Amino acid sequence: MRFLAPLLLLAATSVSAQFGFFDQMFGGNGQQGHQQQRAPQNVPSDSAAYRSNYERSHCDNYLCPDTLACVHFPHHCPCAWPAHEDKFEMGEGQRVCISKGGFKAGEAARKIELARKGLL
């Protein structure tokens, strides 16, 4: 009889720990009150978030449509990914951002010049 009380206490603790393990594994709401983390949601497939940011952006000069940067002239707009793109100012106040290419520095500039000459 003397050993029965500790044995029952040990059995109750073991059962509680066992069901707590299953609650955590299968998302049950155990006494610990753990909240499940939700996976991040994909962005919507429409342009509402972009339009909202564009409409909230204030610029006294020129608001770049792709980066929402405020600049004095359209050809001053930065590239969205400067570490991966080279910016080239074209004639008539335009600019283009193209992927950095090749293994040599200046490869993208060379291709732009070839395209301007109609050789690409």
Task: Say if CB 63 and CB 54 are below 8 A apart.
Answer: yes
Q: Is residue 106 part of a domain?
A: yes
Q: Which of 66, 84, 88, 65 is nearest to 75 (CA)?
A: 88
Q: Is residue 38 part of a domain?
A: no
Range with the lowest mean pLDDT among 25-29, 42-46, 60-64?
25-29
- The single-letter DSSP state of residue 30 is -
Cα 99 from Cα 101, distance rounded (Å): 6
- What global pTM score does this model have? 0.55
Sole residue written with tokens 């962005």: 43
Total count of domains within the chain: 1
**Mean pLDDT across the chain:** 77
Q: What is the CA 90 to chain-centroid distance, rounded?
A: 30
Determine the structural domain holding residue 101 and report its residue range. Answer: 59-116
> What confidence score (pLDDT) does residue 44 get?
79
Q: Is residue 54 part of a domain?
A: no
Quick: pLDDT tens for 80-89.
999 988 888 8
25 in helix, strand or coil? helix
